[in-house]
Chains A and B, each alone.
Chain A
Amino acid sequence: MSVGIDIGTTTTQVIFSRIKVENTATSFLIPEMKITDKKILYKSEIHFTPLLARDKIHLPELKAIIESEYDKAGIQKDEIVTGAIIITGETARKNNAEEVLRVLSDFAGDFVVATAGPDLESILAGYGAGAAEASNHFTARVINFDIGGGTTNGAIFWEGEVIDSFALDIGGRLIQIDQQGVICYISEKITQLINYLQLELVLGAKAKLEDIKALTDAFAKIFVQISSSEGLEEEAVKLFIGHSHKGLKAEKIMFSGGVAEFIYSDYEIGSMKDVTLFGDIGPLLGCSIRKAFENDQYHLVEAREKIRATVIGAGSHSIKISGSTILFDEDLLPLKNIPIIKLAENEDINLMFNGIGEKIKRYGDIPVALAFKGPKSPSYGQIKEMAKAIAANAMGSHPVIVIVENDFAKALGQTVMNMLNTGTRVICIDQIKVDNGDYIDIGKSIANVVPTVVKTLIFKQ
């Protein structure tokens, strides 16, 4: 059982899903465990994210919302094996975001990861929307734009894997309008663009439909340009958060997030009255996007999940399964927040492990994981050398944790074990890719494989 909790700019959602891990190999002795089914058991209502102020999340209220959803779903905390809480969009930039995550991850279940960050959010939304499967289905590059209240998260998939991810300051609630049609909020993120487009959109003033539409049309044009890898105007480039996209062309385009509900419907906006009904520019943005892709129906595909894409992605796509011939000590699991020391690849194995002892010492009392790619099919001699270097750097009472990318963890783990005192415990897993600065969580084994979650740095300071 897995939980996904998405705390977004506008809304907060909870889902529960059951993940099935199966052996997909034809030879059952070298099993190939894969996640074969993800069934969503419960989708919560969509709640507004409770705020104390513009820059502060109302934690007690949020906790109450989540608690009530656990009750409604009839799910106990100890049934949750894995999952993720993700703080997304502008909410991630609130002052108490980190505290919120920490408190909630302890509260939500045993192996639940707290995370945020625009790239991860893009990837999870893409998975949740179904873009990864679609890339396999169409044998095509599929781009997914998850348009939320404050941000848009883009991810491109090919063969079921992410090949690019990015985020933009485009969202349905960047401008809010009251019942009288007066603009009551404009995000500072888009003031430059508004000035550049010479639109009369001013806080406290009445908005004209043509001006808002000019803005949402401009947003829609940006999506067209990104997906067809045309050059973007300077003002558009400024909307990227952190970094730009790689400029890859996609054959199929998908939209998720709240705004997507209006893209795939036939809802029309004829007057300011229609706009004020919703209080923001989301529906209009949806219409603009629908029109922009109208002559390009073949490329536009419908997302499997729209407003719930991120939470579903978080609930069921954040974990990775290790290779199936590995070595682990069940008593040690689960392990959480293990820092990674990534070794630079080198044909000379001694050089590769040079100076590792120093690096490990820097972490003092915290156990660390050594990670490297390693040869595709190492010889017996290479395994011996690697094992010798790893055993030499084993730190007293700490378990030896090794993560390799290629398929030789069992051979390596077994050889390390044979070299060490019987007291030292060894975990050696493969087919997991990590980087320097990452942290890894390793869960209890399921059918001889272990679930892992790799986390990059969580908060921008």
Chain B
Amino acid sequence: MSEMIKDISLVDYYERVTIDNPRDTESCSRLKKTTNARICLGRAGDRCKTETLLKFRADHAVAMDAVWSEVDESIVDQLGFFKVQTLAEDKEQYIKRPDLGRVFSQETLDGIKGNCIESPDVQIIATDGLSACAINANLADIYPILMDGLTAKGYTIGTPIFVKYGRVATMDQISEAIQAKVTILLVGERPGLATDESMSSYMAYESSTLKPESQRTVISNIHRKGVPPVEAGAQLVNLVEVLIREKKSGVELKI
């Protein structure tokens, strides 16, 4: 009984044509290569084939679990992050009440002020957002390359902060608390069926709760199959230079 059914998540779905007796199989596989949409599936009656159905369910499962899972704290511990939590008490409340995931208690803010380097050139924050898996998958690659680059350029770097149950706006409160010049927030994106590991990076010059959302400069789609995390890290170093030189960010910045 040690035999195992193959791992369906490893099947290269984007190459497979499962139509029964198509007019032209070769042209189906060429169509298939033009898109990652689920085409050339074939059917059982009017319904999907079993393979198609199970693959869809597997992809959705991974996306759902990414939302409801937690960041592996050993990763942030190893990288020396200071850990805090927003007003959201648990994941369910975090999902239902985005407003709570944007703010900290006064006590938490005092903790940040007391434990983190003040007035750094660059403050780095990581938060789970809507996919803890994105942080688990990318942080260990993007963070050191970012640190290498910023150090080589001679910037002072703040104590990195990990926010549990955090949304993007947490960067404004943290930036105000420690008076950072540039704040970079790395956050898990809402997972799609294709990937649960996609991360975004938001950055702002003198990030503030008083400024509109358009203060932020964004790089999205950071993951192994999108923008590689190391390359995004190197690009962020360049952007930090630009933000510090121009003293602005977001829509005000024309790059």
Residues of A within 8 A of B (CB): 27-30, 139-141, 158-159, 251, 325, 376-380, 383, 406-411, 413-415, 417-418
Contacts and interface: CB of A to CB of B under 8 A. Distances in A.
A418 B31 contact: no
B230 interface: yes
Contact of B145 (A141, A377, A380, A409): A380
B126 to A, nearest CB: 15
A29 B141 contact: no
Nearest to A327: B234
A295 B144 CA distance: 65
B219 A325 contact: no
A379 B142 CA distance: 9
B161 to A, nearest CB: 20
B224 A139 contact: no
Given A377-B225, A407-B228, A139 B31 contact: yes
A406 B228 CA distance: 9
A383 B30 contact: no
Nearest to B149: A414
Interface in B224-255: 224-225, 227-235, 237-239, 255
A377 B30 contact: no
B225 to A, nearest CB: 7
Interface residues of B, number: 33
A411 B235 CA distance: 8
Interface of B: 27, 30-31, 33-34, 140-141, 144-145, 148-149, 152, 217-221, 223-225, 227-235, 237-239, 255
B224 A410 contact: no
Given A27-B221, A29-B255, A325-B235, A377 B152 contact: no
Contacts, number: 80
A159 B148 contact: no
Contacts of A28: 255
Nearest to A406: B228
With most chain A CB atoms within 10 A of its CB, the pick from B33, B217, B224, B230 is B230
B231 A29 contact: no
Given A376-B228, A379-B230, A414-B237, 6 more contacts: A30-B219, A30-B232, A139-B31, A380-B144, A380-B145, A418-B148
Nearest to A387: B148
B235 A29 contact: yes
Contacts of A379: 140-141, 230
Given A380-B141, A414-B148, A159 B33 contact: yes
Nearest to A23: B255
A377 B228 contact: yes
Contacts of A376: 224-225, 228
A411 B145 contact: yes
A410 B235 contact: yes
